[in-house]
Structure 1
Amino acid sequence: MAIPNTKSQILYKFEEENRGFVRKMKNLEREILRLQEEMVLLTKENQMNGKAVTFSATAADGKVTQRITKGGEIIILKRVLNNVGGGYDSETGIFTAPVAGNYAFYFSVEVPRQKILNIFLYVNDNYVAEAVAVGNVEFVDIGSNMAILLLQKNDRVCIKSNPGNAQILDIQYYGNSFSGFLLSPK
C-alpha cells in the first residue's frame, strides 16, 4: 500500500518539475537566439555574395557592331567585359535588374570626325539622362554621363540614340560603352 505524499513532498516534486521545465525553456530560448543570429548572418552573406550585380559592355574597336540609321534605336554593345548577375543582354542591349536596389550606370558615346550623336539613358522606356559627342574636323569626340537610380526587380535600362536624330552612324569604338553596378540591395 502506497503512503500518501505530504503537502511538502507534493510541493517539492512540483518545484523540481518546474525547475526542469524552466531549464528546458531556457535551452529552447538559447537555441532560438542562436538560430536567429545564424539567420541574420546568412541573410547578410546572401546579400553580399548572392546579389552582386555588375556589367560592362563596349563596342569592338575598329569593327562596326551596329549602324544607327534612325533616331530612338537601342545601342547594342556586343563586347561584354563582365556580366556578374547576368543582367545585361548583349543581343538586345538591355540591362534587366535581377534584384531591387540602388544602381549606378555610366554610359558614353564616341563619334568619328564631323559626326554628332546624342544618346539617352532610359529606364522602362522613360528618359533619364543624356550624353552628346560632337566630332570636329580634326578629332573624334567622346561624351559621357552617369546616373544613380533606384530600380525595382525586372526594371529595364538601356541607352538609345536621340529620337530626333536620323543621322546614319556606325557604332565601332571602345568609347561607346554602357556599364552598371548594384550599390546596395533594397
Structure 2
Amino acid sequence: MFYFCFCEVTSTVINNLSMQVGDLEVRMNETLKNNYRVLTNFNAKQNHIESKFTTEVAFTADLIFNTSISDIKKHDKIVFGHKIFNDGNAYDTATGVFTAPVYGAYVFYFNINTLPHKSLQVELTVNGNGHSAMAYAGALDVDVSGSSMVILNLHEGDRVWLRSSSDSAASKVVAYQLNSFSGFLLYKYY
C-alpha cells in the first residue's frame, strides 16, 4: 500500500511538472516571438533614422566634349550631358534636370562661358519658375564667364534646371569644362 501511494504521488508530481514545463515552453515561445517583433520594429526604426542622416546627394555635370550650344531661345533648357559626378543619381544627364530626392536645403552652382562678342543670360529654375539665380556672360572681345550660386529649400520631387532667360539667337556657348552645373544636399529637413 505504501508503494502504491508513493507511485501515485510520484505520478501526480511528474504530471504536474510536465504540465508546468509545457506551460513554460508556451510562454517562452510567446516571449521569443514578442522579442523578435520588438527587435524587428526597432531595426526598422533604426534603419529609418539612419536613412535620414545618410542621404548622399551631389552632382557636377558639364557639356559633352566638343559640343556647343547656339541659337538659344528664351526658356530653352541648357542640358549638361556629361556627368562628372552624380552621387545619389538625382541629376539626369539626358534631360538636364535635377530632382530632389528628399526635403531639404540644397546648394546649386553654375558657370556659363561664351565666345568673344557673344552673350548669354541663364537662370536657375525650380519647377519651371525662374529667377532663383541668374548669370550673364559675354559681349566682350574675349571668352567671358558668368556664374551664380544659390541655396534653396526644396521638397521631395522638386525639379531644378538651367534655361536661357532671354532670346540670344546669335549666342554660342563654349563647350564642355568651361560650362558646368553642380548641386548638393546641404542638410535634410525632418
TM-score computed with the length of structure 1 as normaliser? 0.72
Partner of 2:57: 53
1:160 alignment counterpart: 163
- The residue that corresponds to 1:77 in the other structure is 80
Q: How does 1:9-158 map to 2 (within 5 A)?
A: 41-49=46-54, 51-61=55-65, 63-127=66-130, 128-137=132-141, 139-158=142-161
CA–CA distance in 2 between the matches of 1:37 and 1:47?
16
Cα RMSD after superposing both structures = 2.6
Within 2, Cα distance between the matches of 1:118 and 1:175?
A: 15
Contact 2:126/2:159 (<8 A) preserved: yes
Any idea what SS the aligned residue of 1:98 has? Answer: coil
How far apart in 2 are the matches of 1:46 and 1:54? Answer: 16
In the aligned structure 2, how far is the partner of 1:131 from the partner of 1:150? Answer: 20
Alignment gaps of 5+ in structure 1: 1-27
Q: TM-score, normalised by structure 2?
A: 0.71
Partners of 1:67 and 1:154 in 2: how far apart? 30
The answer to whether the 8 Å contact 2:112/2:173 transfers is no
Shift of residue 48 of structure 1? 2.9
3-state SS, counterpart of residue 42 of structure 1: helix
Maintained 8 Å contact 1:67/1:171? no
- What is the identity percentage for the equivalent residue pairs of Structure 1 and Structure 2? 33
Aligned length: 157
SS of the residue corresponding to residue 47 of structure 1 reads helix
Distance 1:69 1:164 in 2: 7
Q: Alpha-carbon deviation of 1:162?
A: 2.0
